[in-house]
A and B are shown apart, each in its own frame.
Chain A
Amino acid sequence: MTAMLASLFTTAMELSGRQRFFLMLPLCLSIAIVYKAIRNDSMQRFPIGVLTLWVTIVMGLVAVGGGLWVLFRIMV
């Protein structure tokens, strides 16, 4: 059991380029959850606040990534 648990953390996952971009989503969700847990005063507004911040971060990153990709295409 311990060896199996340890192997989970000692063997890396095989990722493709496309999968790497999708792994951005849970990371952004973590940032949104912790930030809102610290800043929000009300538990009732917490889920909607997290969702709004998560979407904002993801859309912002997509916009920056898309902009840089277009710039790269124009210049190279």
Chain B
Amino acid sequence: MSLQAYPSIVQVPLVGFLSWLVPGLGHILLGHRTRGLVCMVTIIATFWCGVAIGSVQGTVAPHYRKLWFVAQLGTGGNTLAAYALHLAVSPESAKSSKPVLVSHWMSAEVGVHYTGVAGLLNLLVILDAMARSEPFKAGGRRRRQLSRGFP
């Protein structure tokens, strides 16, 4: 499946959405396989390492950590999966606006930083994928740069 065949008006939002859902997927479908795989593995590993460090109850808590949750939403598919796990494990703490005492505060803080940074990094990846997908923006020198090096 390649996205190159789609008109740019469809391609740009589609690439953005796919990159948001699964980090790096937009790059892979645009033909930048290595770049997409590197981003995918790094962002997914960072996010789930953060969840493993701080526990899903302590890190992905939209009512208690609102702003961090917004940052985590940058990597949409992972955050939604983690929130679904949180709801399955402990539905009352998922909707609580008080801190969840399942982990030491230090573990939870480190986990939140990992997941938040993963979300913000994916924001960069989404914007990069959208910039690469738009044919008229990738003209001239930029197009030559993009087609060189990374496959």
Contacts and interface: CB of A to CB of B under 8 A. Distances in A.
- A and B together in one complex: yes
User: Which residue among A9, A11, A14 has the maximum number of chain B CB atoms within 10 Å of its CB?
Assistant: A9
Given A12-B102, A27-B113, A41-B148, A33 B89 contact: no
B121 A34 contact: yes
Interface residues of A, number: 27
Interface stretch (A15-23, A59-67, A68-76): A15-23
A10 B46 contact: no
Interface string B88-126: 010000000000001110111011011001100100110
B149 interface: yes
A21 to B, nearest CB: 10
Contacts, number: 97
Contacts of B58: 12
Interface of chain B: mostly helix, strand, loop or mixed: helix
A34 B150 contact: no
A52 interface: no
A40 B53 contact: no
A33 B36 CA distance: 12
Contacts of A11: 55, 102
B38 interface: yes
Contact of A15 (B42, B53, B121, B145): B53
B34 interface: yes
A30 interface: yes
A37 B128 CA distance: 10
A58 to B, nearest CB: 15
B65 interface: no
A40 B34 CA distance: 12
Interface of A: 6, 8-15, 17, 20, 23, 26-27, 30-31, 33-35, 37-38, 40-44, 46
